[in-house]
Amino acid sequence: MKKQGILNRELAGIFAKLGHTDQITIGDCGLPIPDGVKCIDLSYIVGKPSFDEILEVVLEDLVVERAYIAAEMKTANAEMNYVVRKSIEQITEVSHEEFKTMTSHSKVIIRTGEATPYANVILQAGVIF
């Protein structure tokens, strides 16, 4: 049994298979899930687990070279915008509509219980060297 890191067996397995430039999405409870993209739903009540809680744990486990967020996050959800920007150096803003289209390329979408607007991020895997 693992004693640290991601304990969820599905997530741990997916993360182990990620290569450079592969993408995953962490989303709020309202983010649409494209057909054909695996979704791991961690939500158990509205607000739990939170977006920032899951982002923090994922960033401890993965090398992330870039993140994509909806440009609308900056004004509609300043708190989560701050959380993402303090944790990830390279961030690209796209429209929310473009963001939703981009999620179809994710290896997995992790659904949180977050219930604030635009609390979504696409993380692009980096390399450890």
- DSSP conformation letters of 29-83: TT----TTS-EEE---BTTBS-HHHHHHHHHHHS-EEEEEEETTHHHH-HHHHHH
Catalytic residue positions, numbered: 20
Give the fold, CATH level 3, of 20-125: RbsD-like fold (3.40.1650)
pLDDT tens digit sequence for 26-77: 999 999 999 999 999 999 999 999 999 999 999 999 999 999 999 999 999 9
- 8 is annotated as contributing to ligand binding: no
For residue 2, pLDDT over 90 is answered with no
Is the pTM value of this prediction over 0.75? yes
Taking the C-alpha atoms of residue 71 and residue 63, their distance in angstroms, rounded to an integer, is 23
- 96 is annotated as contributing to ligand binding: yes
Residues 6+ apart with CB under 8 A from 112: 26, 27, 28, 29, 42, 43, 49, 50, 51, 53, 54, 119
pLDDT tens digit sequence for 74-128: 999 999 999 999 999 999 999 999 999 999 999 999 999 999 999 999 999 999 9
Domain parsing of the chain, residue ranges:
20-125
pLDDT mean across residues, the chain: 97
Structure confidence at residue 3 as a pLDDT band (50, 70, 90): confident
- 120 is annotated as contributing to ligand binding: yes
